Amino acid sequence: MFRERLLSGIVLVIISSAGLYFGGLPLFAGLLVISLIGQMELYRIMNLHKKAAGLYGYIAAGLYYIMLYYVENAQNYFIYFTMAFLTILMVLYVFSYPKYNTQEILLIFFGVFYVAVMLSFVYRTRVLENGIWFVWFIFISSWVSDTFAYCVGMITGKTIGNHKMSPKLSPKKSIEGAVGGVAGSVIFGCVYGSVIAGSLSSLNNPVLALGILGGVGALISMIGDLAASAVKRNFNVKDYGKLIPGHGGILDRFDSVIFTAPVIYFLAAEVLPML
């Protein structure tokens, strides 16, 4: 099991790294495929993945990505996309009544934004000025945080003991581990910032900026992980899928990225240039 998880993890890292490095169409196409698979995994928990409402969710996600790639200043049209999507979804709900219940319709709506829209910020971060340096933090802040949290939690568990962060939702996660994870991510960000400072001439203090990026990314990644766990517990599923051997489905592997992507984008685009 460990070997299977390790090998699939290495393959996933290689593919992800290639997409982030080259950016452009390869990254865009990869995110679109990942988003559609993630939506399917989410819709499957209510058996909506093969129904007309689920198909509409996939189409809406595809149209959103097309708009993002081909329309200049696509964010200006996002509110119109949202209104159109919701209106057509409610038309489907009304004229097929009682085929779907309210909870199912809400899941279709939620799935497009929770998976497709949130993940699209990986691409949006990559196309920013200096985006090639910032986009890695969407993934690294989660991975570094997880590693430090595990190590610190294990050490404190054997010495001073651990205080559970969310005992009912994730009994293995501790407050001490969370603090260690954030601290580790901040340290990594500062070191990374000092190494690439010459490539970030637009920032006055790259070390401080990337330290903040690492710390905030670590905090948000924990929320993403717990949110995915909460959804699975509500629907009594262990994993979203079996696509990635040893890891589960797309949503099991990208649960943290879903939350960190828009936050890293906002910080990189709006906050860090002011530091």
The per-residue pLDDT for range 176-218, each reduced to its tens digit, is 888 888 898 999 889 988 998 888 877 888 899 899 999 999 9
Tell me, what's the pLDDT at 157? 62
- Name the helix (H) or strand (E) containing 89: helix 78-95
In the chain, domain spans: 24-126, 130-275
What's the rounded mean pLDDT across residues 244-257? 80
Q: Is the pLDDT reported for residue 6 higher than 60? A: no
Question: Lowest mean pLDDT: which of 30-39, 40-49, 156-165, 245-254?
Answer: 156-165
Instruction: Look at 152 and 266; give whichever has higher pLDDT.
Output: 266
Token code pair at residue 132: 């090639």
Tell me, what's the pLDDT at 2? 47
- DSSP string computed for 103-163: HHHHHHHHHIIIIIIHHHHHHHHHTSTTHHHHTHHHHHHHHHHHHHHHHHHHHHHHTT---
Q: Is the pLDDT reported for residue 94 higher than 50? A: yes
Token code pair at residue 175: 């407050």
């995110």: which residue's tokens? 31
Angstrom distance (rounded) from CA 210 to CA 4: 33
Tell me, what's the pLDDT at 5? 57
């828009």: which residue's tokens? 262
Tell me, what's the pLDDT at 158? 59
Angstrom distance (rounded) from CA 108 to CA 99: 14
Question: Lowest mean pLDDT: which of 31-45, 78-92, 123-137, 194-208?
Answer: 194-208
């085929």: which residue's tokens? 99
How many other C-beta atoms are found inside a 10 Å radius of the C-beta of residue 95?
A: 8
Q: Is the pLDDT reported for residue 242 higher than 60? A: yes
Strand 164-166 relative to strand 170-174: parallel, antiparallel, unpaired?
A: antiparallel
What is residue 246's three-state secondary structure?
A: coil
What's the rounded mean pLDDT across residues 143-158? 74
Q: How confident is the model at residue 125 (pLDDT cuts 50, 70, 90)?
A: very high
48: exposed, middle or buried (C-beta count within 10 Å: 0-12, 13-18, 19+)? buried
Confirm if 275 and 203 have CB atoms less than 8 A apart.
yes
Q: What percent of the chain has pLDDT over 70?
A: 92
Instruction: Look at 108 and 8; give whichever has higher pLDDT.
Output: 108
Q: pTM score, two decimals?
A: 0.90
What's the rounded mean pLDDT across residues 220-238? 88
